[in-house]
Chains A and B, each alone.
Chain A
Amino acid sequence: SYELTQPPSVSVSPGQTASITCSGDKLGDKYASWYQQKPGQSPVLVIYQDSKRPSGIPERFSGSNSGNTATLTISGTQAMDEADYYCQAWDSSTGVFGGGTELTVL
């Protein structure tokens, strides 16, 4: 079965750039989405179709996808961005999530 691999945790200082990676076989041939989940809340879509931002998502969130790796980048990271982030892609009509990355802003 298809797998997506994320680092368990990433730390970033306020105002700096955070990058969260998601790796999968030929992931660049698929589209990746990213979801933000804060404690006790439902996930929120922050990036879809590799690099598109839904309405209401700040411009500091961006995404890219090439080769075997998709990347979520948060520029000028703020304390409110501290959360778990999940990548997601589709393989043979099956939805697959990465294991999630805990972003700490300190």
Chain B
Amino acid sequence: QVQLQESGPGLVKPSETLSLTCTVSGGSISTYYWSWIRQPPGKGLEWIGNIYYSGTTNYNLSLKSRVTISRDTSKNQFSLRLSAVTAADTAVYYCARTSYGSGTYYFDHWGQGTLVTVSS
């Protein structure tokens, strides 16, 4: 059974860069797509972007100028970098495996999530 675990600082200062890593166990990241999704406290889900094992990425247009998703196949990890953060970026950040079928994608395995607070 595939498992995902997010890791990274829980506190980031405004204007700095948020960096998170998702470690995948029980399966290889050299298949499937892999996504980052966030949820501000008390609010709904927002898709940030995804990466294919080949390195191809797709980003939410509203965040595209600040987001970079990368992967390290040797460590079975993928990562998120979000630059120039503000308080509005405070959220629980989830990594998720993204399966593909019949021309569409769906998030079938999720990490437990990690809360990142943007504050000085």
Contacts and interface: CB of A to CB of B under 8 A. Distances in A.
Contacts, number: 63
21 contacts: A1-B61, A31-B103, A31-B106, A33-B107, A35-B45, A42-B112, A43-B107, A43-B110, A45-B108, A48-B104, A48-B108, A49-B106, A54-B108, A90-B105, A94-B60, A95-B35, A95-B50, A97-B44, A97-B46, A99-B44, A100-B45
**Which bucket holds chain B's interface residue count?**
20 to 34
Nearest to B110: A42
Given A42-B111, A49-B106, A94-B58, 5 more contacts: A1-B61, A31-B102, A90-B104, A95-B60, A95-B105
Given A1-B61, A42-B113, A86 B45 contact: yes
Most buried by A among B61, B94, B107: B107
A45 B107 contact: yes
Contact of B106 (A42, A45, A94): A45
B101 interface: yes
Nearest to B64: A94
A94 B47 contact: yes
Contacts of B62: 1
Interface of A: 1, 30-31, 33, 35, 42-45, 48-49, 54, 86, 88, 90, 93-100
A48 B94 contact: no
A77 B110 CA distance: 25
* CB-CB nearest 8 A-B residue pairs: A95-B47, A31-B104, A48-B106, A42-B110, A97-B45, A33-B106, A100-B44, A93-B58
Given A43-B110, A48-B108, A86 B44 contact: yes
Contacts of B104: 30-31, 33, 48-49, 90
A43 B44 contact: no
A54 B99 CA distance: 12
Contact of B45 (A43, A44, A90, A94): A43
A23 B102 CA distance: 21
A43 B107 CA distance: 9
Contacts of B50: 95
